[in-house]
């Protein structure tokens, strides 16, 4: 059944409302990470095609910005409704190309759809403001206009939500877009293109442009003077490259980059709640999440109890193909992601770490890795200083609060963090000392379309979701006026 669904997805570039092959015939093979088999191939856009996508987005821009905000809102609302109606199909497509379980795929689709609903509600509320200058010399008028044609580049781990978190605010703001999905997961993005067309998005307003030549095409698009914005979600390494390129023309940038989230359990935490939170914060998408808990710090007085209960819960999880009944954890996205996870665990074990559960890769096919809990880790171990992006939880003991705060902040990243304590005042005081843009207090689940999502330090620039997400696609204009 899912094979028929996959073969129903258009596989060419979606430019100006048309499905076009790549001008040089290049294609990308899409692999099911549960079987390692190719399930589809899609057009891989060339630099010349990228200019075609900019032409289409630029031509559509004048009419889209002139479309009343209320009408833009209704299109976004329709996209929310269609996404909700098509949730089973979309979740199945996500699971086939990315690996997550059907239940997680449904969760992602619901979250992704919420961005259309939220920004449908925000679109008519982009009001400027007006006031008298304090000196009384003139009036101050501030209004907003869209930043213009926007390049959106997304990662593979949440192929629907990372797309809608950018498309919805961009369209609400009056921008037209070119979405470049990750090469591992172009099918969800192409399915989204069809959905947006059905929702009434005019031709050229959203262009979906898979390409395995990401550097070449982003260079071409960012060199084009008709392009006003790049909004990127992915690794810090690639974010740096894009920022350097964007600096040539001072292109407006939003960057959602990598993380290395600490998860801190204080001595007075409810251990069962901390374990429940750890399971969510660690195991969302098999650990392949930018806000995934990466390092666990537990107070010495409760660390063994926390580790034992956490390991017991991890050992209960069933690993297997995401669409199979009863499976809790799907495969990792590709061989290199799985090999990196395996290397980090083996390296920690070689340094004297103790594996409480997991620690092995099951027999293939499929890029599986067992849910793993590791303790007794050397503080210098690579596993504590690298974004693991897999189902592995390293646990470290601490005694002093000031020490754990220092250790938690000892990273170039500052995306997410988690604090567990039954004394909320104490937990909040720790939270306020953490360099992180998103903090869960007694909660492992933190994503919310109504909340600002983004990182400090080298985890990014700007915020997605909330009212902030729309302002990333707007320019402010101040007019000094007298009448």
Continuous segment of H or E residues that includes residue 136: none
By CB under 6 A, residue 294 contacts ligand NAP = no
Exactly one of 45, 107, 228, 234 binds ligand NAP (CB under 6 A); that residue is: 234
Cα–Cα distance, 146 to 482 (Å, whole number)? 25
Output 16 or 455, the one with its CB closest to ligand NAP. 455
Output 246 or 355, the one with its CB closest to ligand NAP. 246
Supply the minimum distance, in Å, between the C-beta of residue 448 and ligand NAP: 13
**Contact stretch for ligand NAP (CB under 6 A) within 5-13, 103-111, 151-159, 377-385:** 151-159
Draw the binding track, 19-48, toward ligand NAP (x: CB under 6 A; -: no contact).
------------------------------
Closest CA to 114 of 77, 86, 74: 77
Exactly one of 258, 366, 390, 391 binds ligand NAP (CB under 6 A); that residue is: 258
Quick one: angle between helices 102-122 and 69-85, nearest 10?
170
Which is catalytic among the residues 253, 290, 342, 387? 290
Query: Phi and psi dihedrals of 141, rounded to 5?
Result: -120, 125
By CB under 6 A, residue 186 contacts ligand NAP = no
Contacts of 325 (CB under 8 A, 6+ apart): none
How far apart, in Å, are the Cα atoms of 192 and each of 132, 168, 219, 276, 333? 46, 12, 25, 33, 20
| Residue 190, token pair as written in the block | 């192409």
Residue 253 annotated in active site = no
| DSSP three-state, residue 304 | helix
| DSSP three-state, residue 166 | helix
By CB under 6 A, residue 187 contacts ligand NAP = no
Closest CA to 293 of 277, 270, 315: 277
Which is catalytic among the residues 97, 256, 342, 472? 256
**Contact stretch for ligand NAP (CB under 6 A) within 154-162, 191-199, 271-279, 367-375:** 154-162
CA atoms within 13 A on the CB side of 94: 29
Closest CA to 399 of 300, 306, 265, 305: 300
Exactly one of 23, 235, 346, 409 binds ligand NAP (CB under 6 A); that residue is: 235
Query: To the nearest 5 percent, what fractions of the chain are helix, strand and coil?
Result: 40, 25, 35
**Contact stretch for ligand NAP (CB under 6 A) within 177-185, 343-351, 365-373, 424-432:** 177-185
Residue 175 annotated in active site = no
Which residues, numbered 323-362, are part of the site for ligand NAP (CB under 6 A)? none
By CB under 6 A, residue 157 contacts ligand NAP = yes
Cα–Cα distance, 42 to 156 (Å, whole number)? 15
Q: What is the Rg, in whole angstroms, of the alpha carbon atoms belonging to the chain? A: 23
Which residues, numbered 93-132, are part of the site for ligand NAP (CB under 6 A)? none
Draw the binding track, 45-84, toward ligand NAP (x: CB under 6 A; -: no contact).
----------------------------------------
By CB under 6 A, residue 257 contacts ligand NAP = yes
Output 154 or 421, the one with its CB closest to ligand NAP. 154
By CB under 6 A, residue 261 contacts ligand NAP = no
Contacts of 402 (CB under 8 A, 6+ apart): none
Output 108 or 387, the one with its CB closest to ligand NAP. 387
Draw the binding track, 447-466, toward ligand NAP (x: CB under 6 A; -: no contact).
--------x----x------
How far apart, in Å, are the Cα atoms of 399 and each of 170, 189, 295? 47, 47, 16
| Residue 116, token pair as written in the block | 């259309």
DSSP letter (8 states) at residue 242: H
Dihedral (CA of 335, 338, 340, 343) sign: negative
| Residue 478, token pair as written in the block | 């101040």
By CB under 6 A, residue 241 contacts ligand NAP = yes
DSSP conformation letters of 416-471: EEEEE-S-HHHHHHHHTTS--SEEEES-S----TTS-B--EETTEES-BSHHHHHH
Cα–Cα distance, 107 to 95 (Å, whole number)? 12
State which residue has the least CB distance to ligand NAP: 234
By CB under 6 A, residue 167 contacts ligand NAP = no
By CB under 6 A, residue 190 contacts ligand NAP = no
Exactly one of 31, 167, 238, 344 binds ligand NAP (CB under 6 A); that residue is: 238
Exactly one of 33, 259, 287, 371 binds ligand NAP (CB under 6 A); that residue is: 259
Exactly one of 22, 207, 214, 357 binds ligand NAP (CB under 6 A); that residue is: 214
Exactly one of 149, 264, 356, 415 binds ligand NAP (CB under 6 A); that residue is: 415
∠ CA 165-167-170, rounded to 5°: 105
Exactly one of 64, 80, 156, 420 binds ligand NAP (CB under 6 A); that residue is: 156
Exactly one of 35, 51, 84, 212 binds ligand NAP (CB under 6 A); that residue is: 212
∠ CA 228-70-177, rounded to 5°: 25
| Residue 169, token pair as written in the block | 């605010």
By CB under 6 A, residue 215 contacts ligand NAP = yes
Output 227 or 303, the one with its CB closest to ligand NAP. 227
Closest CA to 52 of 251, 252, 224, 197: 224
Give contact residues for ligand NAP (rule: CB under 6 A). Answer: 153-157, 162, 180, 182-183, 212, 214-215, 218, 233-235, 238, 241-242, 256-259, 290, 387, 415, 455, 460
Just list the catalytic residues.
256, 290
């Amino acid at each position: 059944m899912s094979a028929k669904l996959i073969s129903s997805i258009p596989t060419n570039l979606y430019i100006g409302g048309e499905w076009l092959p790549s001008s040089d015939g290049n294609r990308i093979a899409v692999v099911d990470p549960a079987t390692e088999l190719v399930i589809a191939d899609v057009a891989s856009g060339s630099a010349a095609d990228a200019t075609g996508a900019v032409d289409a987005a630029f031509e559509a821009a004048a009419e889209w910005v002139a479309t009343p905000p209320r009408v833009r809102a209704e299109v976004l609302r329709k996209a929310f409704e269609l996404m909700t109606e098509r949730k089973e199909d979309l979740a199945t497509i996500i699971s086939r190309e990315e690996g997550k379980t059907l239940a997680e795929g449904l969760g992602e689709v619901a979250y992704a759809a919420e961005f259309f609903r939220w920004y449908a509600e925000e679109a008519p509320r982009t009001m400027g403001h007006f006031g008298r200058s304090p000196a009384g010399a003139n009036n101050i008028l501030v209004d907003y206009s869209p930043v213009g044609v926007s390049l959106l580049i997304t990662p593979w781990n949440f192929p629907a939500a990372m797309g809608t978190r950018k498309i919805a605010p961009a369209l609400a703001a009056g921008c037209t877009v070119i979405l470049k999905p990750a090469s591992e997961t172009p099918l969800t993005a192409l399915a989204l293109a069809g959905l947006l067309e059905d929702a009434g998005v005019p031709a050229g307003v959203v262009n979906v442009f898979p390409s395995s030549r990401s550097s070449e095409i982003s260079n071409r698009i960012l060199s084009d003077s008709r392009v006003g914005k790049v909004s990127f979600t992915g690794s810090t390494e690639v974010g740096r490259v894009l920022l350097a390129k964007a600096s040539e023309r001072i292109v407006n940038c939003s960057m959602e980059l990598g993380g290395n989230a600490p998860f801190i359990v204080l001595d007075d935490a409810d251990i069962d709640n901390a374990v429940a939170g750890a399971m969510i914060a660690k195991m969302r998408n098999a650990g392949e999440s930018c806000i995934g808990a990466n390092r666990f710090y537990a107070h010495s007085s409760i660390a063994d109890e926390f580790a034992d209960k956490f390991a017991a819960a991890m050992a209960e999880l069933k690993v297997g193909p995401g669409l199979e009944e009863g499976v809790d954890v799907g495969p990792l996205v590709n061989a290199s992601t799985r090999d990196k996870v395996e290397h980090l665990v083996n390296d920690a074990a070689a340094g004297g770490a103790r594996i409480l559960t997991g620690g092995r890769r099951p027999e293939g096919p499929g890029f599986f890795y067992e849910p793993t809990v590791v303790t007794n880790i050397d503080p210098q171990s690579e596993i504590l200083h690298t974004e693991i992006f897999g189902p592995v939880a390293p646990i470290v003991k601490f005694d002093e609060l000031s020490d754990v705060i220092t250790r938690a902040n000892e990273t170039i990243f500052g995306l997410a963090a988690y604090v567990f304590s039954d004394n909320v005042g104490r937990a909040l005081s720790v939270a306020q000392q953490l360099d992180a843009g998103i903090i869960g207090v007694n909660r492992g689940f933190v994503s919310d379309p109504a909340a600002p999502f983004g990182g400090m330090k080298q985890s990014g620039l700007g915020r997605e979701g909330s009212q902030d997400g729309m302002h990333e696609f707007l320019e402010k204009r101040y007019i000094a006026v007298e009448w």
